[in-house]
Amino acid sequence: MSEQLKFLYFLSEDEKNAVLDKYGTKPPAADIPMPVIPQGYMPASPVQPTGAMTYDRYQTAPLPVYTMPENKPVRSEGRKKPVGRIAAVAAIICAMLIGGGITAALLSNKDNPTAGVNAVSDGSSNVIPEYTAVGTIAADTKNHTYKDGVLTIYSDDYFNSDFKEYMNLSKLVTVKIESGVTYIRSRAFVDCVALKKVEIPDTVKSIGEAAFDGCTLLSEITLPEGLETIEGWAFNDCVGIKSIVIPASVKDIGYFPFANCSSLESIHVGSGNAYFVSVDGVLYNKDKTILIKYPAAKSGSSFTVPDGVVNIYPHAFTAAENLTNVVLPDTVTMIGDRAFSGCKSLTEINLPEGLASVGTWAFSGCTSIKTLTIPNSLTYVDHSAFNRWKSEQTIEFSGDTSPSDTWNEEWKDGCSATVISHG
């Protein structure tokens, strides 16, 4: 083993293997940052396209989506290091890295970016190390600063950095992205539960998949003119957002970017957008054949879907708890996965003659509907479409029809409703 790699002796087997897997037994080149693998954390695997149909994150329906890794810290159980050993390892690694001219990671206390390694006592003579990589030092440049709950990002290198995966952002309150940054990485701020405000410059062209997923306090965000892509699940579970404006520049919106935004009252689209339009706060594609999103907290108890709409998009009305009555036009042929899931106040909805398919979990939890009439035209109903329906509810087939052989055989999974068939 080379002199520069003797520090591996002080690492755990997992840490040692991670370094050797990347660099083998040779010292790393001076222009390649050596990864610092903190005790108790697992490096995230890169996002890989499945190349085939896969289920979305709520297991609702096959969709051509990317399989997202879980990039959350995983604490190793039963492995503890004394303070002396931590200090020795940190000193040897840093000395080796700096001496070789290699970019070094700045290890810090979670609350004080200048405090160095933080060893947390578990009540015994041993300690559990807590590491947080909060930045990189390379020549005279920094890709970000992080202080007092405010993260300022200066370049795309922040989102390209391996060290970013180990940052502890649980106390992050504000994100300021400086002009020149062109994208926000997928899952960049997932589960930043203290995040309230994000400032995005007009140089940003894309917001990645699940970028702000689970940011439950996020309430102040303006999407800039110049933004072109909002990927799927981008703002999922952002329950603090009440209104959002989609700029005229946006060309592509992925699957369910505003799913489970239970406080969302309106969605507006910038004038001149060539791909999307909003009417009374409801989001459609440009020619209004697809109803993409009805805001969950939109005021009013009744809603009539405009004539010409063909597709009720997956998650379109999810958790719209104010709705009691929805009228669908005869043009509707498709109701997507979870389209009305969680609409627990909904008492009336018509399924028009001409409707061909109903997606999985489409009416899950719609427990206030007394009777739903199934039209003759319905050729496919996916599994669990009426999940959580109760015995006092009724699903009645019109005419002499009955559940078709082309339906998913588990279409009634989790449903106790009475089924009346005249066929």
Please state which of the ranges 158-172, 196-210, 320-334, 379-393 shows the lowest mean pLDDT: 158-172
Which has the minimum average pLDDT: 42-56, 211-225, 309-323, 353-367?
Answer: 42-56
- Backbone φ and ψ for 395, nearest 5 degrees, come out as -115, 115
Cβ-contact 360, 60 below 8 angstroms: yes
Strands 276-279 and 282-285: antiparallel
Mean pLDDT, residues 152-166: 76
Superfamily assignment of 169-286 in CATH?
A: Ribonuclease Inhibitor (3.80.10.10)
CB count within 10 Å of CB 422 equals: 10
Point out which residues pair with 108 in neighbouring strands.
Answer: 132
Average pLDDT over residues 359-388: 96
- Are the CB atoms for 68 and 186 separated by under 8 Å? yes
Which of 161, 26, 1, 10 minimizes the C-alpha distance to 94?
10
pLDDT at 422: 77
CA distances to 179, 269, 351, 358, 397 from 377, in Å:
53, 34, 10, 11, 11
More confident residue, 139 or 26: 26
From-to residues of CATH 3.80.10.10 in the chain: 169-286, 300-423
- The model's pLDDT over 308-357, given as tens digits with 9 standing for 90+, comes to 999 999 999 999 999 999 999 999 999 999 999 999 999 999 999 999 99
Weakest mean pLDDT among 2-16, 189-203, 364-378: 2-16
Q: Which two tokens stand for residue 8?
A: 């591996």
Other CB atoms within a 10 A radius of the CB of residue 302 amount to: 11
Whether pTM > 0.85 for this model: the answer is no
Q: Residue range 76-87: average pLDDT? A: 41
171: left (phi over 0), alpha (psi -120 to 50) or beta: alpha
pLDDT higher than threshold 60 for residue 188: yes
Tell me the per-residue pLDDT of 243-273, one tens digit each, with 9 for 90 and over. 999 999 999 999 889 999 999 999 999 999 9
- pLDDT at residue 167 in the model: 57
291 three-class SS: strand
237 within 8 A of 263, measured Cβ to Cβ: no
Grade residue 170 by pLDDT with cuts at 50, 70 and 90.
confident
User: Looking at 28-173, which runs of residues are DSSP E strands?
Assistant: 48-49, 54-55, 62-63, 66-67, 104-108, 118-121, 127-130, 132-137, 144-147, 150-153
Nearest-angstrom CA–CA distance, 399 and 374: 9
Distance, in Å, from the CA atom of 126 to the CA atom of 120, rounded to the nearest integer, reads: 9
As a whole number, mean pLDDT of residues 361-372 equals 97
pLDDT band per the 50, 70, 90 thresholds, residue 12? low
Q: The domain 300-423: what is its CATH number?
A: 3.80.10.10
Using pLDDT thresholds of 50, 70 and 90, give the confidence band for residue 372: very high
From the list 275, 338, 283, the residue with the least C-alpha distance to 306 is 283
